[in-house]
Chain A
Amino acid sequence: MEPPTIGQSRPAGEQGLHRAPTTPPPPVDAGGGPGSADVDTVARVADRIRANVEKVIEGKSDVVFAAVVVLLAEGHLLLEDVPGVGKTMLSKALARSIDSTVRRIQFTPDLLPSDITGVSVYNQSTRQFEFRPGGVFANIVIGDEINRASPKTQSALLECMAERQVTVDNVTYQLESPFMVIATQNPVEMEGTYPLPEAQRDRFLARVSVGYPVPAAEIAMLTSHGDVNPLDDLEPVTDGAEISKLCGIVAQVHVSEAVQRYAVALTSATRESPDLLLGASPRATLHLVRAAKARAALHRRDYVLPDDLRALVQPVLAHRMLPSAEAAVAGLRVATILEGIASRVPVPETTA
């Protein structure tokens, strides 16, 4: 299983048309939404982050791009790949590029929900229960090997991820903002693991696969990682406050009615497809549009194109789908099914 990648990977024929990030469209002054200056800021900061992360992860700019898209869309990222390809490195580099709090939780079979959310302990000196925050109380939470923990521990993340809050002993604690969970999981070693339930997967905005580096990148990696941990040299390029601001700008990116219809048409098509047992949820539609907004902003556009949605169909939707029994028997992969659906759903042609 090879989850698709996000962002800048494109067919060979697309050069010249996908130059948007490097050849910005002429400036547009418009009231209401983010001006081009705003999306420029988003793109500039994002470029800084990406450049910073790519110091550590060579040759994976599309994965980095995806991670940034998820960050700006205020979503959570699921990294799925075999061990040793840099999942943890990626998440750490991303976290370190932003001057913010980072927590790493190593999911193990004996991990308890309270380890994630936090626990109230009795303080003998004050003779009161006081709350000891768990692992999620950070701007960026790295959940390593998330499928190794028991389902009940996994579900402790549910509330945090969706509602950005933690409730312990009837007391609700707000999480910090920005808040992003980057979870990694290993699709190969299935023994002793608990695959994420659908409800849990639905809460991740996108799932990407890092994939093996190309030989040249691997050689470069040998040089740079030879003696010293590159993460140590990584300096933050932005801070949590700025990310929050950028997220605000991204949320303002214009989604025309035509694009909205296209998004709904795409997700509806997954629900109606006979090859899929479980289609996309309305939350998936929401996530798709949010991610598309971030992608548009990263391409210095203050409006979403159908192409943004189309490019994000695989990473945003694939991990939420369940193939039907027939499709599974026929050996159809979810990615293939989704690609077929996306190529069939027509783009609305009307001017919004």
Chain B
Amino acid sequence: MRAGRTPLGSTLLIAMVGAGTTWAALTAWSDFVTQPSDYLVPLLLVGFVVAATGALLRALGTPRLLTVLVQIAATSALVSLSVTGSPLPVGSTGAELLDALRTSINSAQAYAAPIGSQAPPIWPLLLAGGAVFILIVDVVACTLGRVPGAGLALLAVYSVPSGLLEGAPGGASFLAAATGFLVLLHLDARDELMRWGRPLGPDDRSPWGGGSPVRDAVRAGAGRIGVTATALALVLPAFIPVLDVDVFDLGAGAGDGDIRIRKPVTDMRRDLERGRDRPMVRIRTDDPDPEYLRISVLNRFTGTEWSSGDRDVASDNVPDGRLPDPTGLSQDVPRTEYSYDVDITEQFVSTWLPTQFPASLVEAEGDWRFDPGTMDFLAADDDLTTRGIGYEMTGLALDYGTDGEFFRNAPSGSVQDEVLDLPSGVPAIARDLARSVTAPGLNDYERALLLQHWFRRGGGFEYSLERAPEGYGNDTLESFLSEEGRVGYCEQYASAMAVMARVLGIPARVAVGFLEPRRIGDGIWEYSSHDLHAWPELYFSGAGWVRFEPTPAGRVQSVPDYSRVPVDGIGEGGPQDPSGSETTDAGGTTTPAPTRAPTVPIEEGQSAEDGADGDRGMRTVLVAGGATVLLLVVLATLLLGPRAMRARLRRTRLAGGPDDLWTELRATAVDLGVPWPTGRSPREVGTALVNHLGDPVASQDERPRTGPDAAPAAAEALERLVVQVERARYARPGSIATLERLDLPADARAVMEALVAGVPPRRRQRAEWVPVSLWNR
């Protein structure tokens, strides 16, 4: 079946419903990002444009291939416009587009969903993918007329998040898409039926004027079946324990509610970028100033990432009571024990148990195992997470003093070699800087202090989550440490300091956990998702593993007391008096600051969000504006182009011979929708045509009178024309040269005018503005 001309109304309706359905299905992807409007708004436009162009072209009877090509072109232009700001994806813009897509893919691989505004954006990928799906659905359902086949594409849309996200996509998008698909099926079936003609009987209301398709569908009984099927699809999985489809998970959890710590660092960044701050851990403690809560330790640096390495989790290393003394901690260090009663919220899902470090006692239900080297607690059971559990522990608050007396010993052999391992390819700048920055230091402790100071003050570093580079591997490290870089967030600081410490021969590792909690009641504190943090831990014999804080004041106000020791050389790197400023900082945090410290990151996060929102708003406006302009240009071309082309063709042909006149006459007939018998002789065509001639004078009627009697002059002109065409085609060549003086173009014009007069005014207008003969030859 050739792609015949279809009524604009029906094809537009189906196309719009199809695009809307796809769009609704695409909202299932919103869990991939924190800002779904990034891709959903442009996709709305893409859907509209694809549906409109497709419907228009199909209504004009454009060949299918051409229709699809035009749609692809329009879609590419829109995607390109949204991503790069230029509608033509060629040259540098094309490269930019490809680059954006590549970045999106990398980002999608590097970060866990949902990906926030601070990570390299993945919305170009979602936009391009969504546009492809919208195109596919339109092509399958409308251009090819295979509506059921479009269901596969919709299923594919829906299966993307089902396969990638932990939770199933929301039921709302499923419901919307399913409804849209059912309406689509119904419309298609109705079109199919209407090809048989209108039903007889008194109820001959116009099929397109009969109200909403949804109502039709419901009335037709298909609604009942569809509603039942959709409802069953939503409800049944809840009762089938094996299939964890979970589309009804609409409640409090709802996709982005869960905070998961499985891969500690990447998860941390995602959680920090999350728009909403969520409470994660609540503690009740007698500690007047609870500090960092450690989740896990990363002690292996591979050059591309920090990982937790090989863990020795013997089955007897379970948190059922006292823990062994922390490695390397001298008994001389004064210590205070504080008890903690920990409650983890439903939204914090981690396979690592957050604990104080160092701790002397942890008692938790479940098969948690600790590694005696790192003293972090790992779930040995696959299904075991922290979600909603409660446990007790006793933390050790160590008082190293500020004179550094416990740090003066050389590292002993009591740590694993791994914490000193550096992969090949650590950038030279890291080694050089490590040495130059710590040159004044007399021992490892002073070098560590110098490093910390350099990061926080001397090096000109800036804390920024949104501008932070991706990852913390060698490449990132190099750019992070270079003069132009020096922007990052805790991940980079912790990693860089740990690496540089290793360069200096100080055992170092990266810890991931929570920054300071917020006080919410008497002795009750709460860690929330924005408190997630990473920091380096350095090992000193006698002091054990000690926390340092290289992340600048933009994020962390205070540093540990023991790291505030004045060292020669501090202050040379920075303009301020080091001790003074540090003391000022310390002054702010020596007293418990239950509200201030934790709110800082939150405010930061919000302001970052606001800025991003503003940018995004601008971009949306730009995209919308550009798209509107493009749409207008396309519309103008579509509106005026064919008319101009047709007029030029007409002029050319009217200046030609009888055959050209005949071609023009045929084009006119095709434009007007007057049947033109194909493959018939001029005489037969003329016989058929003469019945469609109308009187140009009295042609204002809705249904003009036609036939040879209505326009006798035109009928005669047509006859002359036919004879001349016959003569031109079939007579002996040479007899044409002596044609009598006939004004054939005038005859042709008369016939064309009569033809125009013979059709209803609406068809005349269509012929004028949408000359089908340009497509259908």
B687 and A13 contact, CB distance less than 8 A: yes
Is B205's beta carbon under 8 Å from chain A?
A: no
Interface centre among B708, B732, B738 (most CB of A within 10 A): B732
CB distance from A187 to the nearest CB of B (A): 31
Given contacts A13-B687, A14-B687, is CB(A347)–CB(B679) below 8 Å? yes
Which residues from B are CB-within-8-Å of A346? 678-680
A305–B683 Cα distance when bound, in Å, is 9
Is A222's beta carbon under 8 Å from chain B?
A: no
Which residues from A are CB-within-8-Å of B732? 30, 32-33, 254, 256, 302-303
CB distance from A269 to the nearest CB of B (A): 12
B740 and A305 contact, CB distance less than 8 A: no
What secondary structure prevails in chain B residues at the interface with A? helix
Given contacts A25-B723, A346-B678, is CB(A302)–CB(B687) below 8 Å? no
B681 and A310 contact, CB distance less than 8 A: yes
A345–B684 Cα distance when bound, in Å, is 14
Listed by A's residue number, 14 A-B pairs whose Cβ atoms lie within 8 Å are A16-B708, A28-B735, A254-B730, A256-B730, A259-B730, A301-B731, A302-B731, A303-B732, A304-B730, A310-B681, A310-B684, A346-B678, A346-B679, A349-B729
Contact with B along A337-352 (1 / 0, CB 8 A): 0000000011101111
Which residues from B are CB-within-8-Å of A17? 683, 686-687, 690, 719, 722
A345 and B730 contact, CB distance less than 8 A: no
* Range of interface residues on B (Cβ < 8 Å): 20 to 34
Interface centre among A29, A302, A347 (most CB of B within 10 A): A347
Is A258's beta carbon under 8 Å from chain B?
A: yes
Closest 10 CB pairs of A and B: A346-B679, A30-B735, A306-B681, A303-B731, A254-B732, A256-B730, A26-B740, A347-B681, A307-B683, A28-B735
Interface centre among B726, B731, B734 (most CB of A within 10 A): B731
Which residues from B are CB-within-8-Å of A11? 687
CB distance from A182 to the nearest CB of B (A): 30
Which residues from B are CB-within-8-Å of A331? none
A351 and B729 contact, CB distance less than 8 A: yes
The residue in chain A whose Cβ has the minimal distance to the Cβ of B728 is: A351
Scan residues 19-46 of chain A and give those whose CB is less than 8 A from a CB of chain B. 19, 25-33
Is B733's beta carbon under 8 Å from chain A?
A: yes
The residue in chain B whose Cβ has the minimal distance to the Cβ of A253 is: B732
Which residues from B are CB-within-8-Å of A305? 681, 683, 726, 730
B659 and A351 contact, CB distance less than 8 A: yes
Is B727's beta carbon under 8 Å from chain A?
A: yes
CB distance from A80 to the nearest CB of B (A): 28
CB distance from B692 to the nearest CB of A (A): 11
Contact with A along B623-657 (1 / 0, CB 8 A): 00000000000000000000000000000000000
The residue in chain A whose Cβ has the minimal distance to the Cβ of B658 is: A351
Q: Of A16, A29, A256, which one neighbours B729 at CB under 8 angstroms?
A: A256
* Range of interface residues on A (Cβ < 8 Å): 35 or more
Which residues from A are CB-within-8-Å of B727? 25, 28, 303
Is B699's beta carbon under 8 Å from chain A?
A: no
Scan residues 668-690 of chain B and give those whose CB is less than 8 A from a CB of chain A. 678-681, 683-684, 686-688, 690
Which residues from B are CB-within-8-Å of A32? 732, 734
Scan residues 176-197 of chain A and give those whose CB is less than 8 A from a CB of chain B. none
Which residues from A are CB-within-8-Å of B716? 16
Given contacts A16-B708, A17-B719, A306-B681, is CB(A31)–CB(B691) below 8 Å? no
A290–B686 Cα distance when bound, in Å, is 25
Q: Of A13, A310, A352, which one neighbours B733 at CB under 8 angstroms?
A: A352
A19–B722 Cα distance when bound, in Å, is 12
The residue in chain A whose Cβ has the minimal distance to the Cβ of B718 is: A17
A18–B715 Cα distance when bound, in Å, is 13
B681 and A29 contact, CB distance less than 8 A: no
A306–B728 Cα distance when bound, in Å, is 13
6 other contacts beyond A13-B687, A16-B715, A31-B734, with CB at 8 A cut-off?
A16-B719, A28-B738, A256-B729, A256-B732, A305-B726, A310-B681
**Contacts between the two chains (Cβ within 8 Å), count:** 89
Which residues from A are CB-within-8-Å of B684? 307, 310, 347
Which residues from A are CB-within-8-Å of B730? 254, 256, 258-259, 303-306, 352
Which residues from A are CB-within-8-Å of B688? 13
A13–B678 Cα distance when bound, in Å, is 18
Which residues from B are CB-within-8-Å of A18? 683
A17–B687 Cα distance when bound, in Å, is 7
The residue in chain A whose Cβ has the minimal distance to the Cβ of B707 is: A13
The residue in chain A whose Cβ has the minimal distance to the Cβ of B666 is: A349
A258 and B729 contact, CB distance less than 8 A: yes
CB distance from B723 to the nearest CB of A (A): 6
A11–B677 Cα distance when bound, in Å, is 16
Q: Of B679, B691, B728, B729, which one neighbours A13 at CB under 8 angstroms?
A: B691
CB distance from B397 to the nearest CB of A (A): 99
The residue in chain B whose Cβ has the minimal distance to the Cβ of A255 is: B730
Interface centre among B659, B683, B684, B730 (most CB of A within 10 A): B730
Which residues from A are CB-within-8-Å of B722? 17
Which residues from A are CB-within-8-Å of B734? 30-32
A30 and B729 contact, CB distance less than 8 A: no
CB distance from B681 to the nearest CB of A (A): 4
Scan residues 731-747 of chain B and give those whose CB is less than 8 A from a CB of chain A. 731-735, 738, 740, 742
CB distance from B79 to the nearest CB of A (A): 44
CB distance from A86 to the nearest CB of B (A): 31
A256–B731 Cα distance when bound, in Å, is 7
A14–B738 Cα distance when bound, in Å, is 28
Which residues from B are CB-within-8-Å of A19? 719
Which residues from A are CB-within-8-Å of B681? 305-307, 310, 347
A13 and B735 contact, CB distance less than 8 A: no
CB distance from A147 to the nearest CB of B (A): 36
Scan residues 306-352 of chain A and give those whose CB is less than 8 A from a CB of chain B. 306-307, 310, 345-347, 349-352
Contact with A along B682-718 (1 / 0, CB 8 A): 0110111011000000000000000010000001100
The residue in chain B whose Cβ has the minimal distance to the Cβ of A304 is: B730
A47–B708 Cα distance when bound, in Å, is 28
Which residues from B are CB-within-8-Å of A306? 681, 683, 730
Which residues from B are CB-within-8-Å of A29? 735, 738
The residue in chain B whose Cβ has the minimal distance to the Cβ of A303 is: B731
The residue in chain B whose Cβ has the minimal distance to the Cβ of A11 is: B687
Scan residues 354-376 of chain B and give those whose CB is less than 8 A from a CB of chain A. none
A25–B720 Cα distance when bound, in Å, is 9
B680 and A347 contact, CB distance less than 8 A: yes
A310–B686 Cα distance when bound, in Å, is 15
Scan residues 249-282 of chain A and give those whose CB is less than 8 A from a CB of chain B. 254, 256, 258-259
CB distance from B562 to the nearest CB of A (A): 98
Which residues from B are CB-within-8-Å of A256? 729-732
CB distance from B744 to the nearest CB of A (A): 13
The residue in chain B whose Cβ has the minimal distance to the Cβ of A28 is: B735
The residue in chain B whose Cβ has the minimal distance to the Cβ of A348 is: B729
A27–B740 Cα distance when bound, in Å, is 8
Interface centre among A26, A27, A33, A304 (most CB of B within 10 A): A26
A346–B680 Cα distance when bound, in Å, is 6
A352 and B729 contact, CB distance less than 8 A: yes
Which residues from A are CB-within-8-Å of B678? 346
Which residues from B are CB-within-8-Å of A345? 679
CB distance from A289 to the nearest CB of B (A): 13
Interface centre among B679, B728, B735 (most CB of A within 10 A): B735
The residue in chain A whose Cβ has the minimal distance to the Cβ of B725 is: A351
Which residues from B are CB-within-8-Å of A28? 727, 731, 735, 738
A254–B728 Cα distance when bound, in Å, is 13
Which residues from B are CB-within-8-Å of A310? 681, 684
A301–B716 Cα distance when bound, in Å, is 19
The residue in chain B whose Cβ has the minimal distance to the Cβ of A16 is: B708
A302–B684 Cα distance when bound, in Å, is 19
A15–B683 Cα distance when bound, in Å, is 11
A304–B726 Cα distance when bound, in Å, is 9
Which residues from A are CB-within-8-Å of B735? 28-30, 302-303
A28–B734 Cα distance when bound, in Å, is 10
CB distance from A333 to the nearest CB of B (A): 23
A51–B84 Cα distance when bound, in Å, is 86
